[in-house]
Structure 1
Amino acid sequence: MASHLHADRSAPQPPDPGTLDALISQARTLRGRLDAVRRGAGGSAGRGTEPDPGVAGADPRTRWQRALCELAVHQLDDLGSQLDQLRAGMPPEAPRAWPSADQPPGPTSERTPGAAYGTHPSPDRERPSELVGRVGSAEWNLLTDGVAWSPELFRIFGRTEEDGPLTLDELPSWVVPEDQTALATAFTDCLVDGRAIDREFRLVRPDGSVRTVHMVGEPVLDDDGGTASMWAVVRDVSELRRSEHAVHESRDHLQRERHIAQTERRLAVELQEAVLPPWRGSLRFPHGDERVTGALDLAAHYLPSASSALIGGDWYDAMELPDGATLLTAGDLTGHGVTATSGMAMLLGAVRGMALAGVRPDALIEHLNQLLDSSAQPSLGSALCCRYEPRSCTLTWAQAGHPAPLLFRDGAGRVLRRPEGVLLGVTSGATYEQRTERLRPGDLLVLHTDGLAPDDAQEAPTGAEPGDGVPRKPGLHAGSARMLGLAARFATAGSAQECVRVVAEEFADREREDDACVLVARVTP
C-alpha cells in the first residue's frame, strides 16, 4: 500500500479559512439551538451543569429524548473541535508529514510528535478543550524502532510524556483481555498484509478507568514496497459510546413499556368484551312475548375514547329477572386498563347476583359501595341501577354519583330527578335513596356514562338554538345536554337500535377524553 503522500501525488492544499470560519459558526449556532432543545426535553442547559433532580423519575420517552440530545451534543462538540483543529492547521516550522525512504526519522528527530496530524496546537493559540484531547496520533517506525505520540494520545492513555510512548508490542497489553487478540490481529494484518486499521477497542488506564478508543491507521511503504512505519489516529469515543448506550437502553426500555401497554390493552379489551353483553341489534324483554304491553326494546353501544388507547371501567347491562322485571344498569369505575376492567367485572357481577336475589336498587347500591370500599385496591366509581316492571310500566332506580337517566316523550326530553347518592367508595356506610317513575308506551329511556363529552362542553347540541326547549340547567352533564338535543330524531326512530345509531353519529366526531357507554330502552306500545 502506498503512502498517503506518494511521490506522484501533490500535497493537499489547506482549506479556505473563510469557508472553515463559516462552518465553525454554523456548528456553534446548531450547538446553541440544541441546548434549547435539551432544556425542552428536560436536560441540563449546558455541559458541566448539575443534572435536573427530576430527570431520574422521568418517563421512558423523556429519558430517550434526553439521551438522543446528549448524543447529538457529543457529535456537535466533536465536530466543532475537529473544525478548530483544521483551522489551526500545521505549524509552519513543521517538516513534511511523512519522510521519504532515504531520510527516515530517528528517535532524536526534531519533528514535533503529532504535528503531522494537525492535533498539536500552535503556541499562539488557546489551549484546546478537553474534547480536542480526544483525538491523538502516533507513528511507529519499524526501521529505527522510533515511536512518536502526540500529547493528546498521552492524555487518552493516562500517561505522561516522561513515561514515554508505547511500542506496538506493548500496546495490546493495555487493552481489556477480550480485545487483545483482535487488536494484535489488526496490527499483523496492517504490517504484514498492508491492510488499513479501522477498529475500536477498550483500553485500561493506570488509574483503572476504561476508555473506548477508535483507531484508524495505515502502513507506510518504502520504495521497495516494504513496510517502513505505521501511522494511526486514535480518537477517544468513550462519551459518545456511553451516549449511544443510553439511547439504546432508553429505546429498548420504551419498546418494552409499549409492549407491556399493548398487552395490557389487549387483555383489557378481551375482559371487557367477555363481560359486557354481546348484543348485535335490538333485544326485547320479556323474551318473545309480543302480547305484553310495556315490554322493553333494548339496544346499547360502547364508544371508545378519541385515542382508542384508553379502556376504562365503563359498563352497561340489561337482564331479565325471575319475577318478570328487568334490570337496567350502567356505571363507570375510575382508572384505565386491566385494573379498571377487572374492577368493573367484579362490580357488574355483584350487580347481577344481587338483582337476581331480589335486592332493591337502593340497597343494591349500598352493597356496591361497601364492596368497593373494602376491596384490596380501593377506587371510586359511579353507578346507576334501575328495576323496570313491565306490567305496571314503573321504573324504580337509585344512583351513586352517576348521570341521571334521560326520558324522551312526545318529541321532548328531560332529565329524571336524581335521588341522593354519593360516589361509590367515597365513604363507608353511605345510604342511598331511590325514586319511582311511571313510564308510558312509546317512552324512550337513555342511560349513559359520563365520558360522552367533556364536562366543560356545555354548548348547545347539534341543531339546538336558545329557547328551543332544551334544558340549560346549572350542573347539567355535557353529555346529557347534547343528548337532549336529539329528541326530535329519537321521535322518528322506529326502534332502540335506530336510536343508538343516532347517538353514535352525534358523538362520533367528538374529542372524547374517555370512553363511554349508552343504553337505550324503548317502551313498546
Structure 2
Amino acid sequence: MPSPRSADHSAAQPPQPPRDTVDALISQTRRLRGGVDAVRRDTTADMDRADDPQLRWQRALCDLAVHQLDDLGRHLDQLREGLPADPAEAEAPPEHGEDSDTAEPPPPPGSAYAAPAREAGPEGRGSLLSRVGSAEWNLLTDAVTWSDELCQIFGRTPEDGGLPLDELPSWVFSEDQPTLTALVTDCLVDGKPIDGEFRIVRADGVVRTVHMSGEPVLDDDGSTASMWAVLRDVSELRRSERAVRESRDSLQRQRQIARAERRVAVELQESVLPVWRGSPRAPRSRAARGGAAGAAALDHRALDLAAHYFPASTSTQIGGDWYDALELPDGRTLLSVGDLTGHGVAATSGVAMLLGAVRGMAVAGVEPGALLGRLNQLLDASSAQPALGSAVCGRYDPITRTLVWAQAAHPAPLLFRDGTGRALQPPDGVLLGATPGASYAQAGEQLEPGDLLVLRTGGLWPFSADADADGDGDTGVERLLGLAPRFAAAHSAQECLRAVVEAFDDERREDDACVLIARIGP
C-alpha cells in the first residue's frame, strides 16, 4: 500500500506486529467464533418455531455476530500472511509430542477463515483477500493501480485493470453517486480523509456494497499528487445488519399487535364475566313460588358467591375460561364454569357467545344436561373449524337445597362439608364440539347449610404426568382439598376465595384458569 508521502515513491513498510501476538489473537477469535456458532446452532435447532419473530431476530443477531467475527479473523489472517515466514518453522514443522497440549487447535468446522481461499462462489465469498483491495489514482500521470483483490470485488480480471476516477461513478448506484463524488472531491480538493460506503453494480449484474477509506497523497510541495484507498466488500455484513433490523421491527410489530389484542380481549372479557361479590341479585318474581314465606326462605338460604380469574404465567393473551352465576326467574340459581379452546379476541368472543346461549337456555328452563347437549350442537355448527370446550353447568334450588348438574369432560365440582372435602361423582359427558349429537347425563346432590361448592377450570395448577382424563392431577386436587379447614373457619365465600388465591396464585401455569365458589346459606 503506498504511503501518503509521495505519489511516485512508496514509503517504507511499517514494522510488523510480532507473529506470536497475531497468532494469539487468531486463536482467541477462533474460540469466540466457535462459541457464537454453538449459540447459533442452539438458536436454530427449534424448527417448529421457524415463524416466531423473536426467534428470527435471535438468529439474525447470531448471523451478524458470525459475520463480524469472520471479518475479524480474515483481517488477522491477512496480517499474518503479510509477515515474513520463520525459516526455522519452514524447515522443521511442529511435531505432535509433549508440547502438543499447547498447540493451536484447528479452526472450527464452517469457519470462513479457517483455510485461505481466493474465491468461493459467484459472489466472491472466501478469505479476506477476496473482499478487501487497494487502489491508487495518480493525478500527475493518470496512472491507475488496483490490486487483484479489488479487481475481483468489482468482477474484473487483473488484465482489465482498474477504473479511472471519471469512470468509477458509472459503476455506482445512481442514488449513491453523490456520496462517491463528495468523498473524492473532499479528498482531492480539501485534503480530507475518505470514509464512506456506496453500492456498485458489476458487469455480471451482481450488486455489492463497498466501504471506501483512504486519504490524499501529497508531493514535496504539499500539493495533492494522488489518492489512495482501501475498498472493502461489506455486502454480507450489511445484509446481516439489515436482517437484524427487519427481524427486530417484525418482533416489535408483533408485540404491539399482541398488546392491542390483549387489551381488546381484556375489555371484552370484563364485559362478559360477571363482577360481583356476595349473593346474586334477586329478581322481582322471587316470591312467586311461596308468597311472603317463600321469599323469606329464599333470602335465608341465598348463595354466597365469589369468583377469581387467574391469568396464564407464560402468555400475554387472554384465554377462553369463564365462570357465571345467574338468578333464574323461578328463584333457582345457574352455576357454570368452562374452558373454550384458543386465546385472544377469538376465544373471548366465543365465550361471550356461549354465555349468552347458556343464560338464554337456562332462563327458558332447559335442564343442565339438555343445555350442554345444545351447546355441543352450537359449537359443532358455529364455524368451518369448530371450537372445543369443557364445562360444568348446574342449577341450585334454594327451597330443597339440591344441585342438579351436568359436565362435559370437565373437572367435577368439589364439595366441602364439616372441615373435609370431596369431588362429586360426575355424570357421563364428552367434550363440547367433539361428538355431534352427544347426550349429557345429569346428577343430583343434596346440600346442607354451610356447604361449600368449588367449581374451577383445569388450568388452576400446572399439568402433570399423573393428571387424569379431566386434566386434574392428584397433587393439585389434594392441595385444594387441604384447604378444607380454612374453608370451615371462613365466614364468607370471599374469605374462602382468598385462601384459594393465596394457595395457587404463584403457580407457573401454562393456561389461564378461574374459580367459582358458592357457599350455601344457613
Same fold (TM over 0.5): yes
Q: Are positions 1:137 and 2:134 aligned together?
A: yes
Residue 467 of structure 1 aligns with which residue? none
Residue 188 of structure 1 aligns with which residue? 185
Q: Partner letter of residue 450 of structure 1?
A: G
Aligned counterparts of 1:20 and 1:55: Cα–Cα separation in 2 = 42
Q: Are positions 1:437 and 2:445 aligned together?
A: yes
Aligned counterparts of 2:364 and 2:177: Cα–Cα separation in 1 = 78
Q: Partner letter of residue 347 of structure 1?
A: L
Aligned counterparts of 2:445 and 2:151: Cα–Cα separation in 1 = 91
Residue 13 of structure 1 aligns with which residue? 15
Q: Partner letter of residue 366 of structure 1?
A: G
Contact map agreement 2:75 2:128 (CA 8 A) in 1: no
Aligned counterparts of 1:212 and 1:241: Cα–Cα separation in 2 = 8
Q: Are positions 1:198 and 2:195 aligned together?
A: yes
Residue 32 of structure 1 aligns with which residue? 34
Q: Give the C-alpha shift of residue 322 in structure 1.
A: 0.8
Contact map agreement 2:372 2:406 (CA 8 A) in 1: yes
Q: 3-state DSSP class of the match of 1:440?
A: coil
Aligned counterparts of 2:176 and 2:396: Cα–Cα separation in 1 = 80
Q: 3-state DSSP class of the match of 2:460?
A: coil
Q: 3-state DSSP class of the match of 2:338?
A: strand
Q: Give the C-alpha shift of residue 476 in structure 1.
A: 6.3
Change (3 A) 1:308 1:253: closer
Aligned counterparts of 1:399 and 1:285: Cα–Cα separation in 2 = 25
Contact map agreement 1:5 1:11 (CA 8 A) in 2: no
Q: Partner letter of residue 65 of structure 2?
A: A
Aligned counterparts of 2:474 and 2:272: Cα–Cα separation in 1 = 27
Match for residue 69 of structure 1 among 41, 62, 67: 62
Aligned counterparts of 1:251 and 1:474: Cα–Cα separation in 2 = 38
* Aligned pairs for 1:236-251 within 5 A: 236-251=233-248
Q: Give the C-alpha shift of residue 520 in structure 1.
A: 0.9
Contact map agreement 1:316 1:331 (CA 8 A) in 2: yes
Aligned counterparts of 1:311 and 1:430: Cα–Cα separation in 2 = 29
Residue 279 of structure 2 aligns with which residue? 283
Change (3 A) 1:230 1:378: same
The structure with the greater share of residues assigned to helix is 2
Aligned counterparts of 2:250 and 2:59: Cα–Cα separation in 1 = 14
Change (3 A) 1:126 1:340: closer
Q: Partner letter of residue 384 of structure 1?
A: V
Change (3 A) 1:171 1:149: same
Match for residue 404 of structure 2 among 396, 402, 414: 396
Instruction: Give unmatched runs, 5+ long, in structure 1.
Output: 44-51, 93-124, 460-472
Contact map agreement 2:5 2:217 (CA 8 A) in 1: no
Instruction: Give unmatched runs, 5+ long, in structure 2.
Output: 86-114, 119-125, 287-294
Q: Are positions 1:524 and 2:483 aligned together?
A: no
Aligned counterparts of 1:218 and 1:412: Cα–Cα separation in 2 = 88
Match for residue 408 of structure 1 among 400, 405, 416: 416
Q: 3-state DSSP class of the match of 2:395?
A: strand
Aligned counterparts of 1:74 and 1:358: Cα–Cα separation in 2 = 70
* Aligned pairs for 1:267-306 within 5 A: 267-279=264-276, 281-284=277-280, 286=282, 292=298, 293-306=300-313
Contact map agreement 1:446 1:518 (CA 8 A) in 2: yes
Contact map agreement 1:455 1:477 (CA 8 A) in 2: no
Residue 78 of structure 2 aligns with which residue? 85
Change (3 A) 1:258 1:212: same
TM value normalised by structure 2 = 0.84
Q: Give the C-alpha shift of residue 159 in structure 1.
A: 0.9
Aligned counterparts of 1:486 and 1:430: Cα–Cα separation in 2 = 36
Residue 384 of structure 1 aligns with which residue? 392
Match for residue 351 of structure 2 among 325, 332, 344: 344
Cα RMSD, aligned residues only: 2.7
Q: 3-state DSSP class of the match of 1:283?
A: coil
Contact map agreement 2:19 2:83 (CA 8 A) in 1: no
Q: Give the C-alpha shift of residue 245 in structure 1.
A: 1.2
Aligned counterparts of 2:501 and 2:359: Cα–Cα separation in 1 = 27
Match for residue 217 of structure 2 among 220, 223, 248: 220
Residue 258 of structure 1 aligns with which residue? 255
* Aligned pairs for 1:358-369 within 5 A: 358-369=365-376
Q: Give the C-alpha shift of residue 321 in structure 1.
A: 0.7
Calculate percent identity across the aligned residue pairs: 65
**Over residues 128-158 of structure 1, what are the superposed CA-to-partner deviations in whole Å (9 max), with x where a residue is unaligned?**
5443210000011111111111110100111
Aligned counterparts of 1:427 and 1:506: Cα–Cα separation in 2 = 36
Q: 3-state DSSP class of the match of 1:445?
A: strand
Q: Give the C-alpha shift of residue 458 in structure 1.
A: 6.3
Aligned counterparts of 2:326 and 2:510: Cα–Cα separation in 1 = 29
Match for residue 450 of structure 1 among 439, 458, 463: 458
Aligned counterparts of 1:185 and 1:365: Cα–Cα separation in 2 = 77
Q: 3-state DSSP class of the match of 1:318?
A: strand
Q: Partner letter of residue 300 of structure 1?
A: A
Contact map agreement 1:403 1:477 (CA 8 A) in 2: no
Contact map agreement 1:451 1:479 (CA 8 A) in 2: no
TM value normalised by structure 1 = 0.84
Q: 3-state DSSP class of the match of 1:202?
A: strand
Contact map agreement 1:286 1:296 (CA 8 A) in 2: no
